[in-house]
Amino acid sequence: MPMKDLFTPIKWLPEGKVCFLEQTRLPREEVWVETSDCARIADAIERLAIRGAPLIGIAAAYGLALAALSTQATDYESFRSDLLKSAVRLRSTRPTAVNLGWALDRVMRAVDGVRDVSDAREVTIRTAQAIHQDDIGACRRIGEYGAPLLPAGARVMTHCNAGALATGGYGTALGVIRSAWKAGRLKHVLANETRPLLQGARLTAWELREEGIPFTLIPDSAAGLMMQRGKVDAVVTGADRIAANGDTANKVGTYHLAVLSQANRIPFYIAAPTSTVDLSIASGAGIPIEERSPSEVREVHGVPVAPDGVDAANPAFDVTPGEYIAAIVTEAGVGRAPYGESLRSLCQRGVAAHA
């Protein structure tokens, strides 16, 4: 059955619970988890049951909503203190994606000054729901702005998963691909497997299959060959944090694609909401890179693929210099170099849209 336009991997339930898709179980089984525990949301983010920069932000906001419902505080100061403790725990889960802190800050700002605890709880929930709905709308606009950048009959390469599974719904990079497919501009997608956790093979392939979009799954190491053979017209990926100068952190392996795109004269695009832009960081050198467990490299789904005791490094992200990026597609429009100017303007528009 084709994936519905409003498919979302996370939901706020009327009874005050969060329901999320356990993404570590895909594609073998589709398991949904219900919880009223903020700590369980934090754990799910850490172990990538909930992943993708925009979705992490949405989940964190919903985590605060759960914390607001569970606290026994009866006065505003105690309520806000409990909420801050939960925010600290959620903020510690993953360091690279800026959407996480952005969403937490938005919720805390909304609660500031709401002295009645009952009202503060409602504001927390409404703000989290607004963050979710805003993201769905943003992804649709990213798709609308990004699709025309692709040539008619485009063959597009993407990396990791930046679809509905990584967002509130629809997707960023896959949002562009989905919009291009619906507009009749897309011919084929090349999806990189994305080692070591295979988000491309497990998640992007699952989404594209559900949507009925023609695609081929390839090893990460085959990307350059496909470009060399003339099978790629554009590369589109998502982002976890974009510095003020356009330097962009995304799933490790993205930088390789950008360099290969330059060498083969193929446009390389980033698709992300303005909430992913961090104007407080001047360049990619200031973006923290998450280091995950070496066991993720030494094993695949718990099965060892390396000799016992082998040392392994597992950086989760790399940084692509802005000079390699043809354009950054946001819900507020398309930014091009010099990114110091265009990103600031896009962020101002993005803030105005959410005001």
Cα gap 125→82, rounded to integer Å: 15
The encoded tokens of residue 344 equal 């600031």
Cα gap 320→234, rounded to integer Å: 16
Helices 173-182 and 117-146, axial angle in degrees (round to 10): 50
Cα gap 207→199, rounded to integer Å: 11
The neighbouring-strand residues paired with 97 are: none
Catalytic residue (one of 135, 233, 240, 318) = 240
The neighbouring-strand residues paired with 192 are: 218
The encoded tokens of residue 164 equal 């509905």
Residue that is written with structure tokens 């050198």 in the block: 285
Buried b (16+ CB within 10 A) or exposed e, 111-141: beebeebeebbebbbebbeebbebbbbbbbb
Cα gap 319→59, rounded to integer Å: 24
Residue that is written with structure tokens 């360099």 in the block: 259
Residues in contact with 28: Cβ distance below 8 Å, sequence separation at least 6, in sequence order = none
119 among known catalytic residues = no
Pairing state between β 154-158 and 234-237: parallel
Which residues are known to be catalytic? Answer: 240
